């Protein structure tokens, strides 16, 4: 049973982080590893456990991302490639909040009505953003961002934009999402 597996972890109050995009030019939609590390350190210092999710193909990258962070395996858990979709949904539904790049997990968190910080750069959040009142969408304050509407409009000279989202911005957005988000209007049960 997925819920029992998660309950056995004794997570307490935790934040789910999903740093991994998928598909063509996925690296353009990913936030820099150093930013994820800095955010994780802040969250742990604030008393949260941090759980990283990802698919089986993200396991190596996730392990690399978390290597060297103090608390890995106790306050920082790497679950990339270890959970089924239903287990991931159960994990997200019990989280205090979620920080994710624009990918399926972002939409899953929005559907589960969990406080969410959705990181966008090249993808246009008007088309690809989460549908949730509890979501905060972050996009860099710069020119030439959010140019992907249909998913193939890459300019010839593409400047990386995700690194323009600062750790301070994401941390502040998460703090706001956790404190000012309306309470969910329904409960979610995950059957596995």
DSSP-assigned letter for residue 102: S
In whole angstroms, give the CA distance from residue 148 to residue 115.
Answer: 25
Q: What is the largest CA-CA distance in the chain?
A: 50
Q: What is the pLDDT of residues 116-174, one digit of tens each?
A: 999 987 766 666 667 788 888 878 776 777 666 666 666 666 667 878 889 999 999 99
Q: Residues 32, 92, 24, 159: is their CA dihedral positive or negative?
A: negative
Q: Residues 25, 91, 167, 181: is their CA dihedral positive or negative?
A: positive
In whole angstroms, give the CA distance from residue 53 to residue 56.
Answer: 10
Q: What is the pLDDT of residues 118-127, one digit of tens each?
A: 998 776 666 6
Which pTM was predicted? 0.84
In whole angstroms, give the CA distance from residue 130 to residue 104.
Answer: 10
- Residue 184 confidence (pLDDT) above 50: no
List phi, psi (to 5°) of 133. -70, -15
For the chain, percent of residues with pLDDT exceeding 70 = 76
């Amino acid at each position: 049973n997925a819920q029992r597996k998660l309950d056995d972890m004794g997570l307490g109050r935790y934040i789910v982080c999903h740093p991994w995009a998928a598909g063509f030019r996925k690296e353009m939609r990913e936030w820099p590893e150093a930013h994820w590390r800095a955010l994780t350190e802040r969250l742990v210092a604030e008393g949260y456990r941090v759980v990283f999710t990802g698919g089986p193909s993200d396991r190596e990258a996730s392990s690399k991302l978390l290597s060297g962070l103090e608390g890995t395996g106790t306050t920082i858990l790497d679950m990339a490639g270890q959970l089924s979709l239903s287990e991931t949904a159960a994990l997200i539904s019990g989280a205090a909040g979620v920080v994710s790049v624009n990918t399926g997990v972002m939409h899953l968190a929005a559907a589960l009505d969990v406080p969410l910080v959705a990181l966008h750069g090249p993808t246009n959040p008007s088309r690809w953003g989460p549908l949730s009142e509890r979501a905060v969408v972050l996009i860099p304050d710069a020119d030439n961002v959010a140019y992907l509407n249909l998913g193939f409009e890459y300019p010839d000279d593409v400047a990386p934009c995700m690194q323009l989202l600062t750790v301070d911005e994401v941390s502040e957005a998460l703090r706001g999402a956790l404190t000012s988000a309306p309470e969910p209007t329904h409960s979610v049960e995950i059957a596995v």
